[in-house]
Structures are given as structure tokens and as C-alpha cells.
A and B are shown apart, each in its own frame.
Chain A
Amino acid sequence: MSPPETLVDKLDSPWLGVVLGVAAVLGMLTVNVLFLVWLERKVSAWIQRRMGPTEVGPFGLFQTLADMLKLLSKQLITPRHVDKPLYHLAPLVVFVPVVAAASLFPFSAGLVLQDLDIGLVLVFAFGGLAFVGIFMAGWGSNNKYALLGAMRSVAQNISYEIPLILASLSVVLMSGTMNLAKITALQSERGYWFIVLQPVAAVIYFIAALAETNRAPFDIPEAESELVAGFHTEYSGMRFALFFFAEYSNVFIVSMVATVLFLGGWSGPLLPGPVWFFLKVYALVGLTMWVRWTFPRLRFDQLMSFCWVVLTPLAILNLLITAFVARLV
């Protein structure tokens, strides 16, 4: 069986496909990140009974665009005592995997840039690459707040990656594939979303994803009152913007994974596939914002023990039960 024709296959030259694909993914991410930042400010304002951005554009929609232009034109300051190679490489090492991971998602039937059988593993692999970049930033900055922030961030990410992957594996066991497009197709074929059969996995995934993206109540790596801004304290201008971009893209990516695994991806009645896909993604993004602005921050030891004592055993148990049931059915 030959794989279904993807956008890249339709082009003559594979290199042209790569260039166009990267441009398309970057464009998609940029638009969504700009919108996400605006949405976050509006949602937080709404929760705190404020107005949020109102000045630039209708409903302040162009505020983040203006912010981005400001960051682009800012002077790049390199502090004197930084570890130069690591300091300069870090933003790229954090940023590039995000773009690579975003190119793997099926927005609709056939509308997928890279249709790979190991799509899910690759998304997690690219997520893991970013840890190295965070460490490079924390160490390279030669600043105690940055170093502490990086250590917290990576310790938290490594720990929560385990329940995250275990919860996703429950879905993989049920569908028998790690191809993101096939997982989605399977759900529309069977007529139900996997969240119906895997509610526990879905909740574990959502909590772990909040921690993976360093979002409140798990935003300990950037606890302003303790650590200034965490691992990117010493970065300014466009270098800071790259970290910021990667962070919001990560929120978007974990929501896309959740949409594919638990909410049936592009499948839905009446509306076209991409509309359903983005509606579901934005519903999840909205949920993470709601959580961020209504829950207080956890303490670091609470965070770690919650992961290792509650979440991981629960995820293993869920996986075992799923394996037995999948074997019996």
C-alpha cells in the first residue's frame, strides 16, 4: 500500500517542498502565536474584569503585531560574561524543533505536510530537543536566576514527559498506529472520539501538557517573584522573541496533539476539516488560559511529587488496563 499523496509529493523538487513547507509552517505558527498572545491578554483581562489591549486595531487585535515589530527593531544586547557559543545557539535550539514538530499535523484529510507513520514519536522527540536548548540558555547566560530557572524547567519537563507519553500510548494501543492522520481517520470511521473511551488518559495528558509548556499552575520555572524570568532572563530583543514564540507555539502544539489523539482531529459534521481542527485546538487553548488565570502556582516539591506519586502510576495503570482490554476485544 502506497502512502496517500501529500502536499510535498505534488511538487517536482523535494527541496522546493522543504522550503515551501517550512515557510508555510512558519506562517501558520506566526499568525496563530500572534493571535494566541492577543487572546491570552484578552482572556486574562476578562477574568480580571479589565479591558485588555484596545488601542491598536479593532479590539486591539494588532497589538501583538506592533509588539513583534518593536521586538524586531530592538538592539540585541549580549551581556559581557555569557558563555558565548551556548548563549547564541540556545534560542535556535529551542525554536527550530518547534517548527519541525508543527509540520507533522494533519489539518484535514490529505492536508498534511509530512504524513509519517511515526508522527507521534517525532512530535515528542522534537519536544525533547528543546530541553537541551533550555539548558544551554540557562547555563550560557551565566546568571543564577537563569540557571535555576533552566534546571527547574528541565526537571519538570523530563518528569512530566513520562505521564504525557504514557497517556498518549493508551490511544496508540487502541488505534494500533502512531500516524497522526490515521489516528484521526480511525476516530471518524468508528464514529466516536477517543476521549469517550480514554477519559483518564485525556485528563492525564492535559495536566502533563500544562506542565510541559510551563504554564500556570506549573509555571515554576518562570516564577516572577522568585526567578525574574527564568532561563531567558538575560535575553532581549529578537532572541527573547524566539523563546516567547517557541513557548506559545508549544501551547499550540500540545493542543494539536490532544485534538488529534482525543478529540477526533479534523472530523466533524457540516463544517470543513480545517475549521473543525482549529475550533477544537482553540477550545483546548482557551481551557489552558482559563486554568492559567484562575489557579495559584504550585510549590516545586508539590509539583514533583504530584507527577511521580499520582500522575505516573495512574498513567501506567491506565495503560495496563487499556492493553488488557485491547487484547480481549
Chain B
Amino acid sequence: MSTVTGLLMAIAICGALLAVSLKNVLHAIFGLAITLLALAGLFMVLGSPFVAAMEVLIYVGGISVAMVFAVMLSTVVPKHAAETSLRKGAAALVALTFLLGVGAIVVGADLPSTSAPTLPAELWSVAHLGTALLDHYNLVFEVLSVVLLVAIIGAIVISRREEEHTES
């Protein structure tokens, strides 16, 4: 493991710790942005600048900004009002399930023991990634599109219902 990789990993973990520990929600989101930037750096070290650029473009510039918007547009909740023990328990359960799931995938996968790029650069090229996404991983790609579509329609339905509420 090179120094750069180690440093990036440390930054990613620090950002994640900030994201879960800071009381101010906006600070937490910026902590998450630090983690995402460090992840982009890790993709760079692993030899895929395209995935790194996409990570920055979509996650740092898009998702985290959308999260800030969501926080600012939602009504202010009094401190800790939302934290009931039931909710805490449910959150812990979800987090634990997710951790175990990801852990199982990581343990089950046959990962190379070095952090150096093991695949040739051609396999990381934009053209190859595009072909793989629309060819080999076509089904996954389509399912993800449907999930996004459902999310958009859901958002429209919820906002419409609130509009009717305020009018009546």
C-alpha cells in the first residue's frame, strides 16, 4: 500500500466519522463530501480517472448538493425531537444489515492483495466502461433506471399532495 493510498483512506474514514458525529446536519453533509472526494482520489490511484471524475461530478457536485437543498427546504425540526429509541433501534438495524451485506460481498469476492492497478488501462477506458454497462450489465443498468424513475415519480406525488393540503 503506497503512502498516497493510505492517506486517501485515512481522509475518507475521517470524513465519514465527521459525517456521522457532527451535530449540525450541514456540517455532516460536508464531511460526507470529504469522504466522496477521497474516494474519487482512490479511484484515481486504482487507475481509473474516468470513474474518479464521475464520482466528483455526480456525488460531490450533485448528490451532496441535493442533500444540502433537501435540508434547507425541509421545515426545521426541534433538536432531537425525531430521535426516539424506536427510530434509533431501527436505524442501527438497517446500518448493521447493510454492513453485514457489504462485508459478505467483500469477503466472498476474490480480491487481489495489491493496491496497484491490476487491470490493463484499456479495460478502464470510457469506451470499454460504456460497452460493459450497456452490454454485460444491461439488466442492472435498466433496473437502476427504473429505481430512479420511481424515486422521481414519488417525489412529484408527495409534493403535489402537499400543494393540495396548503390550498384547501
A86 to B69, CA, bound (A): 16
B49, B50, B56: the one within 8 Å of A129 (CB)? B56
* Nearest CB of chain A from residue B105's CB, rounded to whole Å: 27
Interface membership of B70, Cβ < 8 A: no
Most buried by B among A116, A139, A155, A178: A139
Asked if A136 contacts B62 (CB within 8 A), the reply is no
Interface membership of A122, Cβ < 8 A: yes
Known contacts A118-B126, A151-B72, A155-B69; A86/B30 CB under 8 A: yes
Residue of B nearest to A121 (CB): B53
Asked if A132 contacts B57 (CB within 8 A), the reply is no
B33, B54, B125: the one within 8 Å of A121 (CB)? B54
Asked if A132 contacts B61 (CB within 8 A), the reply is yes
Asked if A135 contacts B68 (CB within 8 A), the reply is yes
The 8 A CB mask of A12-27 against B (1 = contact, 0 = none) is: 0000000000000000
Asked if A117 contacts B125 (CB within 8 A), the reply is yes
Asked if A117 contacts B126 (CB within 8 A), the reply is yes
Residue of B nearest to A147 (CB): B72
Asked if A132 contacts B27 (CB within 8 A), the reply is no
The A-contacting residues of B in range 20-72, CB under 8 angstroms, are: 24, 26-27, 30, 33, 49-50, 53-54, 56-57, 60-62, 64-66, 68-69, 72
Q: Is the interface of B mostly helix, strand, loop or mixed?
A: helix
Q: How many residues of A contact B (CB 8 A)?
A: 25
Q: Which residues in B have their C-beta under 8 angstroms from that of A126?
A: 56
The 8 A CB mask of A214-238 against B (1 = contact, 0 = none) is: 0000000000000000000000000
The 8 A CB mask of A110-129 against B (1 = contact, 0 = none) is: 00000011100110111111
B24, B65, B72: the one within 8 Å of A132 (CB)? B65
Interface membership of A321, Cβ < 8 A: no
Asked if B53 contacts A122 (CB within 8 A), the reply is yes
A116, A135, A147: the one within 8 Å of B65 (CB)? A135
The 8 A CB mask of A129-168 against B (1 = contact, 0 = none) is: 1011001100100000001000100110010000000000
A135 to B27, CA, bound (A): 11
A147 to B26, CA, bound (A): 13
Interface membership of A85, Cβ < 8 A: yes
* Nearest CB of chain A from residue B68's CB, rounded to whole Å: 5
B60, B68, B125: the one within 8 Å of A128 (CB)? B60
Asked if A132 contacts B62 (CB within 8 A), the reply is no
Q: Which residues in B have their C-beta under 8 angstroms from that of A135?
A: 65, 68
Residue of B nearest to A128 (CB): B61
Q: Which residues in A have their C-beta under 8 angstroms from that of B30?
A: 86, 132, 136
Known contacts A86-B30, A139-B26, A158-B65; A118/B53 CB under 8 A: yes
A–B Cβ pairs within 8 angstroms, 29 of them: A83-B24, A117-B49, A117-B125, A117-B126, A118-B50, A118-B53, A121-B50, A121-B54, A122-B53, A124-B57, A125-B54, A125-B57, A127-B61, A128-B60, A128-B65, A129-B56, A129-B60, A129-B61, A131-B61, A132-B30, A132-B61, A132-B65, A135-B65, A139-B26, A139-B68, A147-B72, A154-B68, A155-B69, A158-B66
Other 20 A-B pairs with CB < 8 A, given A125-B54, A125-B56: A85-B27, A86-B26, A86-B30, A118-B49, A121-B50, A121-B57, A126-B56, A128-B60, A129-B56, A131-B61, A132-B61, A132-B64, A132-B65, A139-B68, A154-B65, A154-B68, A154-B69, A158-B65, A158-B66, A178-B126
